[in-house]
Chains A and B, each alone.
Chain A
């Protein structure tokens, strides 16, 4: 399960600050929503069903971009698989 690092600060404007290395990031609204869900310890499947419920997107398309997005979170060392 993908886990967001604990100490990451996320503001409601989509501004992310990683205090462990001092980097800042911005998220688009859906990116912010996913990060908030990760922070609430939702699993990949839970996140998927919530997003599919709310947004006009099919399963396969979402999965493709979700993998890409979480890949970037891991790349930036904001989250890791546990």
Chain B
């Protein structure tokens, strides 16, 4: 007689709560392949844990975003936000799709140049630009977004010295009705600081004001905040035209579009809370088109969205190391990927999917990473099938920030694999070895 398939025996207490309106339950979604490639095979080939990026999803997402904006506004340009994911392979996919580069440090700036982005298509943002950095940017005709007055004066001086006009924009911060209001970057709209900066730039013959920039926050789920921001920038465009007869060439709305990840503590699932590209595009385009800007001089609309373009394309494949019981009987599961490589688990309830789900039985468990550190907790509570050692799990939507903010801590950072649009895999960043790390270290003579 053939033997029955074994599953582990299991008992679950029935909790008869009342509708607390704040349930922690989750639906089980099985993910056993990525773009048709079996998870098991990917992990056999590239190890565990391993990051996987789907080129197909990258290209699909950017084209969806492009379609949403270009059907509503005549002139649209995306600029890839390097800090979100600056792996060369990822950046080049976006550049092939027509994106410029948006960088916030000289490190990112140089990476963009090496990725073949023309200097004039690099937007240089952020509060940290040295005189040397700025000179390079001026000479390359890059778009320099001024963050503070000290930078403005330094730039004026450098432009005078090099006898080359800098192409500049200012970053404007403002009240868009959302909370919290980001006011640490750029010049404030409401208190007149932005105008003070604009006056100084427009009266300075070495500076060429080409654009206006804002970036209202991160993970913004209300498109109306973008509507407010776009109309405030449009007002500035009109007032600059009236006062100086100067045309602004572009409005850069920054990023901050939400991805479909679920914020920790959020009641709604991320894919329910996050607006679509169409909703953002509608808010921004209609604000600009309905503004007092003359239709024949509508500025180019630049978007620096990062998270919403790349999050969905990234997966982290990981394995169960062990199951255990906590002191009060609760289940805990240890996996081989920790918070050091999945930084976003500090603010997201990541969707973690099993690769198989053979019956209806589930249990609530806490997912811990492998680090010998108390903070290494990936999900405080998640409902999963009954897991066994060696089972594979897929953490979904990890494309943004993890591969840039990750830490080499206790363990080494793993391989990153790209699946191209033909379903072929490519190793795009080699996993670190002890040698990789030791390479940077130097031993003083007396300790050799």
Contact = CB atoms under 8 A, between A and B. Distances in A.
Say whether A associates with B.
yes
Interface of A: 16, 23-28, 30-31, 33-35, 54-57, 61-62, 65-66, 68-69, 71-73, 75-76, 78
8 contacts: A24-B14, A26-B11, A27-B9, A31-B9, A56-B6, A65-B8, A66-B9, A69-B8
Given A28-B359, A28-B361, A56 B10 contact: no
Contacts of B14: 23-26
B13 interface: yes
B161 interface: no
B5 A56 contact: yes
A28 B329 contact: no
A37 to B, nearest CB: 11
B360 to A, nearest CB: 8
Interface residues of B, number: 19
A28 B10 contact: yes
B323 interface: yes
Contacts of A71: 325, 329
A55 B13 contact: no
Contacts of A75: 325, 329
Given A28-B359, A68-B323, A72-B329, A57 B9 contact: no
Contacts of B422: none
B196 interface: no
B12 A25 contact: yes
A28 to B, nearest CB: 5
Contact of A31 (B4, B10, B13): B10
Given A68-B325, A75-B329, A28 B13 contact: no
A27 to B, nearest CB: 5
Contacts of B323: 68
A24 B15 CA distance: 8
Nearest to B386: A28
A59 B6 CA distance: 12
A30 B358 CA distance: 14
Q: Which 3 pairs across A and B sit closest by C-beta, in order of nearness? A: A57-B6, A65-B8, A31-B9
A25 B11 contact: yes
Interface of B: 3-14, 16, 323, 325, 329, 359, 361, 386
Contacts of A26: 11-12, 14
Contacts of B7: 28, 30
Contact of A54 (B4, B11, B12): B4
A5 B300 CA distance: 75
A36 B361 CA distance: 19
Nearest to B3: A56
Contact of A23 (B3, B5, B13, B361): B13
Contact of B9 (A25, A28, A54, A56): A28
A16 B6 CA distance: 22
Nearest to A72: B11
Contacts of B11: 16, 25-27, 31, 35, 69, 72-73, 76, 78
A24 B139 CA distance: 74
Nearest to B14: A24
Nearest to B16: A24
Q: Which of B3, B4, B11, B12 has the most CB of A within 10 A?
A: B11
Contacts of B12: 25-27
Contacts of A57: 6
A56 B329 CA distance: 27
Nearest to B2: A56
Contacts of B4: 54-56
B101 to A, nearest CB: 52
A71 B328 CA distance: 11
Contacts of A62: 6
A26 B329 CA distance: 16
A26 B361 CA distance: 10
B3 A55 contact: yes
Contact of B13 (A25, A56, A61, A69): A25
A82 to B, nearest CB: 20
Given A68-B8, A71-B325, 4 more contacts: A24-B14, A28-B359, A57-B6, A72-B11
Contacts of A66: 9
B9 A34 contact: yes
